[in-house]
């Protein structure tokens, strides 16, 4: 009995300590898994073991530099833009939802590989306390952010460029590619207890993200993304808020959170729960879910500051619950019953919807979407995403 009480006390104290560090991940879940390993923790450690043997590529490893000529500048191309058949040598044209794999750049791939690896390694370190995982994660952080020879410049001046447009400069849309920083910084918080992650490393990483946040908030490209009225604008605010809290700039974070209902919830969700800026896309279900995923991330972040964003509701009924109710009516349904476009990946998006309905129920006073995910989402207990968030 005494041992059981001590275990509960340990979980409570550990979760309390983690709560101050983590903003999106579920600290109670992580602490529980640390004490009682599960299939999902085993899978995470297996992934981290693979990361141990890999040497990540940095931004300077790309064959073709950004238009600036500086290989330290991150460089990517807009995925939905294609050569014009009627003017092959002219500016590219947009084909929304149709991904052009010919323009996929190594920076985009390598960034995703790096952030995913940091997540796996930091979690494995937390679960096992084995320093080899922390050491590898820190090595990767140094390669991508800190080492002068390999570091990325703290900007996205050349993110999602389009051939023949903007004189070779990037677009605000490129910042969607660094949204993985939100989850990566959760992992970095777990690394702070490791001697491998030195004070010098932490100070240097803080400096990099301070410069990046300043670029986000002051550049023309950043300002454009901030004022975008769809999932991109939502993602910008979540990313900026998470980085601000990582840097201890709570005033900036609180500003974004305080303005979030009026800027995002009430302007992007209609009284019936529809999201017009996402429904006009050729992947309407995907982007509707995508936007709400970011919204829930912000709700998680706000909760750590004792702010309940999820319950916010406009006078005419615009709220997050309504948005999920609107999408829930298509859960488990054939695509023929969806009155909007979804040109690909219907089944995959159905699964993503169930995961987000599951997440949404965690904010409700009592579950209201359980009927949709209870029977269909049978593997939720070993799903890494649900486990973390």
CATH of the domain at 78: 1.50.10.100
Q: Where would I find the beta strands (DSSP E) of 57-156?
A: 81-82, 93-94
Q: Can you give the pLDDT at residue 376?
A: 66
Q: Are residues 201 and 97 in the same domain?
A: yes
Q: Are residues 236 and 289 in the same domain?
A: yes
Q: How many domains does the chain have?
A: 3
Q: Are residues 215 and 284 in the same domain?
A: no
For the chain, helix (H) and strand (E) counts, in that order, are: 17, 2
141-186 pLDDT per residue, tens: 999 999 999 999 999 999 999 999 999 999 999 999 999 999 999 9
Q: Are residues 249 and 365 in the same domain?
A: yes
Residue where a domain stops, chosen among 197, 223, 249: 223
Q: Are 187 and 121 in contact (CB under 8 A)?
A: yes
The overall average pLDDT reported for the chain is 94
Q: Are residues 198 and 244 in the same domain?
A: no
Mean pLDDT of 355-379: 88
281-331 pLDDT per residue, tens: 999 999 999 999 999 999 999 999 999 999 999 999 999 999 999 999 999
- Residues near 110 by beta carbon (within 8 Å), at least 6 away in sequence: 56, 57, 58, 59, 61
181-224 pLDDT per residue, tens: 999 999 999 999 999 999 999 999 999 999 999 999 999 999 99
Q: Are residues 276 and 345 in the same domain?
A: yes
Q: Can you give the pLDDT at residue 152?
A: 98
Q: Are residues 212 and 268 in the same domain?
A: no
Residue where a domain stops, chosen among 189, 223, 257: 223
DSSP state of 94: E
Q: Are residues 325 and 344 in the same domain?
A: yes
Q: Can you give the pLDDT at residue 270?
A: 98
Q: Are residues 65 and 15 in the same domain?
A: no
> What is the domain extent for residue 1?
1-36
Q: Are residues 238 and 120 in the same domain?
A: no
> Hunting for tokens 């023949």 — which residue is that?
164
Q: Can you give the pLDDT at residue 374?
A: 85
pLDDT-based confidence at 386, cuts 50/70/90? confident
Q: Is it the case that residue 19 has pLDDT exceeding 80?
A: no
Query: What is the total residue count of the chain?
Result: 389
Query: Lowest-pLDDT range, 28-32, 93-97, 215-219?
Result: 28-32
Q: Are residues 159 and 300 in the same domain?
A: no
Q: Which string of DSSP letters, residue by residue, matches 324-386? A: HHHHHTTTT--GGG--S-B-S-HHHHHHHHHHHHHHHHTTSSS-SSHHHHTTT-TTGGG-HHH
Residue where a domain stops, chosen among 223, 244, 270: 223
370-382 pLDDT per residue, tens: 999 987 666 555 6
Mean pLDDT of 227-239: 98
Q: Are residues 311 and 244 in the same domain?
A: yes
Q: Reduced to 3 states, what is the DSSP secondary structure of residue 313?
A: strand
């Amino acid at each position: 009995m005494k041992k059981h009480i001590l275990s509960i006390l340990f979980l409570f104290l550990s979760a309390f300590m983690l709560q101050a560090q983590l903003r999106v991940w579920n600290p109670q879940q992580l602490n529980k898994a640390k004490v009682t390993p599960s299939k999902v923790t085993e899978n995470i450690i297996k992934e981290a073991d693979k990361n141990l043997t890999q040497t990540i590529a940095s931004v300077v490893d790309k064959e073709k530099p950004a238009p600036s000529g500086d290989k330290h500048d991150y460089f990517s191309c807009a995925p939905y833009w294609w050569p014009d058949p009627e003017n092959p040598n002219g500016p590219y044209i947009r084909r929304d939802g149709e991904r052009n794999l010919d323009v996929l750049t190594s920076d985009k791939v390598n960034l995703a590989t790096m952030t995913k690896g940091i997540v796996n390694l930091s979690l494995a370190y937390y679960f096992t306390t084995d320093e080899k995982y922390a050491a590898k994660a820190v090595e990767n952080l140094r390669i991508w952010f800190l080492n002068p020879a390999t570091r990325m410049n703290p900007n996205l001046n050349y993110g999602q460029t389009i051939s023949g447009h903007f004189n070779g400069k990037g677009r605000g849309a490129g910042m969607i590619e660094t949204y993985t920083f939100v989850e990566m910084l959760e992992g970095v918080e777990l690394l702070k207890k490791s001697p491998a992650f030195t004070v010098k490393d932490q100070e240097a990483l803080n400096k990099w993200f301070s410069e990046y946040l300043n670029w986000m908030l002051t550049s023309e490209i950043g300002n454009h993304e901030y004022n975008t009225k769809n999932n991109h604008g939502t993602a910008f605010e979540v990313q900026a808020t998470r980085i601000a809290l990582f840097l201890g700039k709570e005033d900036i974070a609180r500003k974004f959170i305080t303005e979030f209902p009026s800027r995002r919830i009430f302007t992007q969700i209609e009284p019936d729960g529809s999201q017009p800026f996402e429904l006009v896309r050729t992947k309407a279900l995907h982007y509707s879910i995508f936007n709400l995923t970011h919204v829930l991330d912000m709700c998680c972040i706000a909760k750590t500051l004792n702010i309940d964003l999820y319950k916010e509701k406009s006078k005419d009924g615009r709220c997050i619950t309504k948005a999920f109710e609107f999408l829930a009516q298509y859960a488990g349904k054939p695509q023929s019953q969806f009155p909007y476009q979804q040109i690909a990946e219907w089944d995959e998006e159905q699964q993503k919807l169930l995961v987000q309905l599951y997440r949404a129920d965690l904010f409700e006073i009592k579950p209201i979407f359980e009927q949709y995910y209870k029977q269909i989402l049978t593997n939720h207990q070993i799903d890494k995403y649900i486990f973390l968030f």
